[in-house]
Amino acid sequence: MLEFLFPKKCIFCERALPAGAAIEVCAPCAGSLPLFAGDYLMESGRAPNDRGCDRVICALRYSGTVRAALARYKFRARREYGHTFAALLCEKIRRVTAAAPGDGASGVGGAGCPPAIPSAPLAAPSIPASMPAHALALAPVFDLVACVPLSRSRARERGYNQAAVVAAGVAKYFEVPFAGRLLLRDEQALRQSSLRLAERRANASAAFRITAADAFARALSGKRVLLVDDIATSLSTLNACAAALKGHGAACVIGAVVASP
Ligand SMILES: [Zn+2]
């Protein structure tokens, strides 16, 4: 009944979808989304003591309809979009994970972060038909899912953390715990969007901390963390969060973002 009165709309073009659509992407948009072509936005070429992300997985190019949909998601209270963004990101993570050899346990987040294995070239848009809770037959490749935090004041003004909504969906899909409050953003840190790149880097490393009182913080040692954000324009935020996680003992941090330019 609710769906009859308020039909679901495609998050990209806002056309009404047929009743019962599992994720909110219409067929024409599914066929024309700017998918992120490679497996990784960033692949580790890091020094062993570098504490940034080991790898960063990206689902979509931040352009056109994707950019507009993410803006509505963040600034126009379309919190429900998070479910569909999570489904799109899960599909990309699943592809990258499935490409790794072995039983699945050695995939992307396998012990000690093994070398990246390229997946098959992306021949056609790959949109999941739905996001069932038990879609994955793979062994868990991450121990927990965390998200890039918002400052308290920003969270208050928006009403939700857009990265957390996507991350919670991803955690549910992979059936691993969601550590939504593990990372904390320093209230005093300057707003990223008003800073130049060099300033952002310096600023980011000071801006993130582990919530010491969080239950996941006490058990972080040796854990493989999937760190979710909505948009990565530079990698400074993801790397700063990864450094905080590794500073508390995380063995491996794989970033996962919905979109990047
Ligand atoms: Zn559409």
Among 38-52, 86-100, 117-131, the range with the most confident prediction by mean pLDDT is 86-100
134 found inside a domain: yes
Average pLDDT over residues 42-67: 80
Ligand 1 centroid–CA 7 distance in Å is: 14
Question: Is residue 256's pLDDT more than 50?
Answer: yes
Ligand 1 centroid–CA 25 distance in Å is: 5
Ligand 1 centroid–CA 37 distance in Å is: 20
Ligand 1 centroid–CA 230 distance in Å is: 19
**Contact of 24 with 8, CB cutoff 8 Å:** yes
Per-residue pLDDT band at 49 (split at 50, 70, 90): low
Question: Is residue 57's pLDDT more than 50?
Answer: yes
> What pLDDT was estimated at residue 195?
62
Per-residue pLDDT band at 194 (split at 50, 70, 90): low
Per-residue pLDDT band at 67 (split at 50, 70, 90): very high
Q: What is the pTM of this model?
A: 0.81
Ligand 1 centroid–CA 23 distance in Å is: 11
Ligand 1 centroid–CA 159 distance in Å is: 26
The residue segments making up the domain with residue 226 are 34-260
The 3-state secondary structure of the chain, one letter per residue: CHHHHCCCECCCCCCECCCCCCCCCCHHHHHHCCECCCCEEEECCCCCCCCCCCEEEEEEECCHHHHHHHHHHHHCCCCCHHHHHHHHHHHHHHHHHHCCCCCCCCCCCCCCCCCCCCCCCCCCCCCCCCCCCCCCCCCCCCCEEEECCCCHHHHHHHCCCHHHHHHHHHHHHHCCCEECCCEEECCCCCCHHHCCHHHHHHHHHHHEEECCCCHHHHCCCCCEEEEEEEECCCCHHHHHHHHHHHHCCCCEEEEEEEEEC
Ligand 1 centroid–CA 97 distance in Å is: 28
208 found inside a domain: yes
Ligand 1 centroid–CA 27 distance in Å is: 7
2 found inside a domain: no
Ligand 1 centroid–CA 167 distance in Å is: 23
16 found inside a domain: no
**Contact of 251 with 219, CB cutoff 8 Å:** no
Ligand 1 centroid–CA 112 distance in Å is: 40
Ligand 1 centroid–CA 94 distance in Å is: 23
- What percent of the chain has a predicted confidence (pLDDT) above 70? 71
Domain count, the chain: 1
Question: Is residue 138's pLDDT more than 80?
Answer: no
Ligand 1 centroid–CA 174 distance in Å is: 26
21 found inside a domain: no
Ligand 1 centroid–CA 68 distance in Å is: 12
108 found inside a domain: yes
Per-residue pLDDT tens digits for 210-236? 998 999 999 999 999 999 999 998 888
Q: What is the mean pLDDT of the chain?
A: 80
